[in-house]
Amino acid sequence: MMMSSFETYPKIPRLYRECIITEKIDGTNAQVVIPEDPNEPLLVGSRNRWITPGKTTDNYGFAQFVYDNEAMIRRLGPGKHFGEWWGCGIARTYELTERRWWLFRTDKPLPEGLPSNIGQVPVLFRGEYNDGCVSYALSVLRARGSYAAPEYMKPEGIILFHRTTGTLTKVTLDGDGREKPKSRGPQDLPPDKE
């Protein structure tokens, strides 16, 4: 019999650890890569590809926005900067007349001197994950509306970042893409053991 190579079973992370819940903004994914060398060009991307200004090569004008504001955007510092490009003419629009790029990073404040339409996604909860934090964040959005666009009462939902696992999950307010659960009654319970 041939011996199979041994495979270790991964350690299972604990659920009740730090998480951050932010408002999920309905726009289009947008990223900028700022190289270490200030003489190298910025890279601008959507969720799936690199983009450049132009009618067929841009993503709702994001690349043009970055190139028009390159000196200020470089203040974010070297690295990959992911966010959501949202507002006028994109997805929900949030009844805005302008477009905004809000970064997903929530660990430190943004530097001074950025264009006024660059921000950070609003944090709704930060702390140890618990059985009510998701319900709490969703209920706040339902009652108050969007934190990203005050007075807009149809926010999309939330993003939960679990720090221990490094994973992101989302919940939307519109039913979350699921069918409504069927009502359950006594007929749905498992039979009693004899």
Residue ranges making up the domain that contains 145? 18-172
Residue 5 lies in a domain: no
The C-alpha atoms of residue 183 and residue 158 are separated, in whole angstroms, by: 26
CATH number of the domain residue 58 falls in: 3.30.470.30
Say if CB 110 and CB 97 are below 8 A apart: no
Q: pTM of this prediction?
A: 0.85
Residue 91 lies in a domain: yes
Region at 80 (left for phi over 0; alpha for psi -120 to 50; beta for the rest): beta
Q: In this structure, which amino acid lies at residue 128?
A: E
The C-alpha atoms of residue 105 and residue 188 are separated, in whole angstroms, by: 44
Residue 193 lies in a domain: no
- Going across the sheet that includes 157-162, the strands are 123-128, 18-24, 157-162, 167-172
pLDDT by residue for the chain (194 residues), tens only, comes to 778 899 999 999 999 999 999 999 999 999 999 999 999 999 999 999 999 999 999 999 999 999 999 999 999 999 999 999 999 999 999 999 999 999 999 989 999 999 999 999 999 999 999 999 999 999 999 999 999 999 999 999 999 999 999 999 999 998 776 665 555 555 555 555 54
CB neighbours of residue 29 within 10 Å: 15
Residue 12 lies in a domain: no
Looking at the 3D structure of the chain, how many domains does it have? 1
